[in-house]
Structure formats: structure tokens, C-alpha cells
Chain A
Amino acid sequence: MAGRLAGKVAVVTGGTAGIGLGTAKAFVKEGATVIFNSRKAEAGARVQEELRALATGGEVHFVQADVSVKEQVEAVIDRAIKDFGRLDALVNNAQRLVTVKPIMVKPDEDYQNSLNGGFFASKWAMQRAFPTMREQGGGSVVNMTSGWAWQAPPNTSDYAATKAAIEALTRSAANEWGRFNINVNVIAPFSKSKSWDKYEAANPDAARRSQQANSLKRAGDPEYDLGALALGLVTEEARFINGQTFDGSGGALYLRRTHSATESWAEQF
């Protein structure tokens, strides 16, 4: 049986680790051609081989690029369009890491870096992709926000503000581009990753409570939970779902369960 993305071309930014890699895996296993980027050439080459081994009919190409530089993120999009003549799915996953500082001492430069490496990266990629998606009769964009845009912890205001800006960009694009059969949605993920593993090792109780706070009682898998969600959003089935923020956190964000009490009380359920 042909894959669900057979013949489709996708760009996944930040595809060498975490949710980006999980999404790229989910896409290539369904037959898509996937173009992905990273700043790191060595990691990109390694992941390119890993993804090619999983591919089921589509091609896999790595482009070394820093998404916080406009020309570089545009070059990633151009690779898909020039070599394959179309772009069906764009997953703006990459986000530049931020500093941990309170608002009163966080310099403007930090905000600008966060915005360039998240909000502007997504905007530049979307702008570059749009004419092709319109001309070919449609497409899908999936952006990444964070629960921290809604329930912002201290000291990461640049990140929270960037993610909130990405959500607003998503809704604006959904309503500007929906008429061209382009749906634009955004995911707020809670996923396992290398940094999660480090956090869990250093803070086992806090990590356990974090997972207990969602209804599914686990941190998400980058491929089978978050990659699958991105996959679903770029297929025909989700074509009328547009402008939505998806809780990719096992229910932690929408249900907003508190950490306290639930572990013992949950035994009653």
C-alpha cells in the first residue's frame, strides 16, 4: 500500500534531533520526500543516512542552514521547490535556545535572537513556501509553540513571547491562506528528547510529577506521538482543521491538572 505522503514533498526545520527528527521519520516512513536542515553539518549528514534507510519511496536531503538567518532558511525551502517542483508540507520545528534571565536584566538582544530563531524563521519559511503551495492548489503548515506561551515560567520571557507570536502568526496565516486550501496549525508539544533525558536524570521527582500531570501519564514520543500528530495535520483528513493550537502534551495544557493530589486521587478513577 502506498504511503500516506507518497509523492509529497515536505520541509522539516531542525530535523536532526527531537521532534524534528521524529517528524522527519514519520514522514519518510509514509513515502514523503523530506528536506531538513540543521546548523551542524556532521549531525545532518548522519541523520540524512539514518532517514534514507527508513525511506519508502521518497528522497531525503540535508541542507546545512541556520534558520535565524533569512537567506539560509529560504535556501532550505528553495531546495524543495527547485529540485522537486512542489512543497506540500512545511513543519517549522526549529527554535533557537534562549537564555535564562529575569525580564529586568534580559537584554533586547536576547529577545531578538529568540524571535529570529523561532518567529522570524517560521515567517520567512512560510513566506517562501506560500507561492508554491498556492500555485499547486494547497498545502499544510505546522508550526511549534509551547505551553510556556500560556503558562509562562519565570526567566524565559523571550521564549514565551516568541512562541506566543508564532501562535498569532499561525492564526493570521490560517485566515489569509485558507482560501487557497492551505491549512496552518500549531502544536504545543511535551516530548522526550536528549535535554529531557538529562532533566529527568537530574530531577527524577520533578520529571515524574511532570508526566503525572497529563492524563496519559507519560512524556510524548518524538516520532510516535508528536511526529504522528504533525503527520495527521498535513494529510487530507485534517484539511478542514485550520488555525488551531494543538495540545501535544497528553492533555496537560488544556486540562491544566495540577501536580498535587492527582497521584493518590487518581487511584479512584
Chain B
Amino acid sequence: MNRLEGKKALLIGEDPITIGIATRYAAEGASVTLIGNGLPAEASTIAGVTTIEIGTANGDADRETIRKAAGPSLDIIVLGGADIPAEADWIPVSKLTVDQLRKVEDRLVIRALMALQASEAALRAAGNSSIIFVYSPAGTFSEGGWADHTIAYHARNGLMRAVAAEWGPVRANMLVPFADTPGFRAFRARNPAEVDHRISVTGMKRVGDLVKDIGGAAVFLGSSDSQYVTGMTIPADGGASATIPAIETQMEPAI
């Protein structure tokens, strides 16, 4: 532990992944500020984490709040994502309205851009600082049905690549979690056979713990271990993305 002693981290998000990372970062000794819109009550109870509420608008006031929180020098910024919505709220391409798309893009793309611009000077001042975007299966697998998320996450990927290309030695990477979030648990409860099968054909045959697995990967990406890694999309998924998702390839293992 104490892997992030002396590091300053700013996390923008209210989703369970971001809160799990905040918990792990604080446990590793980082100075952690968590900024979100409608942060859950549990966020303010995490030891060592300072929470700040911002509005939904992408205006000057929120930008100034982030700039102040970033301070003169910032080692890590985590740009949170969104938990899996219930299927009832999924929107296919044929029914997606511009307003619905903008709502998700505001959160996943525009707010991330605003936060990066507001903290640019602090990130550059820290030198080899780390930007971590949280990604989603909606982007990696593009499986259809939740077009608002798929489109917005792909745009977020473009933002990650652009900033990685432009801001060196500041580095930027995408963390793709396969994690036991409330949204995932609800999805699994509604689709037990499909989800259990999906898990059974992955390498580690389990879903990631928010703090130990995903938080751990975020420590790796925020620390000097990964100081020469930038522009990458990095799944923390136990191998799920490295196998065939739908086909049972497991013959009885010989070992």
C-alpha cells in the first residue's frame, strides 16, 4: 500500500467505478478529490476523500471549480464513466433523438473535455502525469441497443487519443473495467444464463472487484510503473476481451 503517497488525484464522476477508484487511491495514500453531479451519499464517507458537487451545465463556474481543485500541480485525473443502464432505458439508433445523445455526450465527452482543459496547466506542471478515462463495454464491443452510450464512448476514445498525442509527456489511457457494479448486478439478475456463460468463458472466470481489481489497475495506470504507456485502451477484465465472447471453446481442460 501507499503506492500513491505524495500524489494528488482528481476524479470527475459519480459512477461506481470512479468511487471504487477513489476508495483505492485514498487507501494508497493519494490526496483525493472527487467531483461529481449528484454524488451518492457513500462518497462523502470514504476516508481520505474530499467531495465537491458541481452542476450539470458545462459552464464557467464548473470549470473554475475543477481548476481550483486541480491546483498548481496534478499527478492524476480520472474521468469517470456511466454504469450500465437498465435495458428499459436502452436506446437503439432508430429511436435515438438528438437530445438523448447530447445528454450522454455532455457527460462522457464534453465534461471530460472541460475537465481536461481546466486542469491542463496543473497536469503539465506535474510532468509525466496520468489521465485515465473510464470506458465501457458499450464502446469496446459496440454490441448495439444502447446507441447513445456506444456513440458517446467512441467519441470519448477519440478525445483520449487526441490528448495522448498532443500532451506528452502527460500521458492518457483508457481503462475498460469488467466490474461488479450495481448496474452489472441488475443486468445479471435479469439475464443470468447469458451473463454466467459470458463469465465462464473468460480467463479468470470472475467479475472484477471495484476496489481490488479495477482500483488496482487504476493505481497501475496512475503510478510510475506505466510512465511509458500512453494512448492505450487497457481492459481490466480478467481476459474477457482476449477471448471469444459467445462461443463455448472450452473442451474439458486436460489440466
* Residues on A facing B (Cβ under 8 Å): 1, 130, 134, 171, 174-179, 181, 183, 214-217, 220-221, 224-226, 228-229, 231-233, 235-244, 246-251, 254-255, 257, 266, 269
Please give me the residue from chain B that is nearest to A215 by CB atom.
Answer: B168
B224 interface contact, C-beta 8 A: yes
Given contacts A175-B203, A175-B243, contact A229 B213 (CB under 8 A): no
**What 5 new A-B contacts, CB under 8 Å, besides A179-B203, A215-B166, A243-B243?**
A237-B220, A237-B223, A248-B228, A251-B164, A254-B233
Given contacts A171-B242, A242-B237, contact A216 B204 (CB under 8 A): no
Complexed CA–CA distance, A237 and B234 (Å): 14
Check A238–B216 contact: CB distance below 8 A: yes
Closest 10 CB pairs of A and B: A178-B203, A232-B225, A243-B242, A225-B228, A215-B168, A240-B213, A251-B231, A178-B204, A242-B239, A251-B230
Check B216–A240 contact: CB distance below 8 A: yes
Given contacts A171-B242, A216-B230, A248-B229, contact A228 B217 (CB under 8 A): no
B245 to chain A, nearest CB (A): 12
Please give me the residue from chain B that is nearest to A230 by CB atom.
Answer: B225
A139 to chain B, nearest CB (A): 13
Interface 1/0 per residue, B207-242 and A, CB below 8 Å: 011001110110110011111111111111111011
Contacts of B86 in A (CB 8 A): none
Contacts of B204 in A (CB 8 A): 178-179, 181, 183, 240, 242
Interface 1/0 per residue, B182-215 and A, CB below 8 Å: 0000000000000000000011110011001110
Complexed CA–CA distance, A266 and B169 (Å): 12
Check B227–A225 contact: CB distance below 8 A: yes
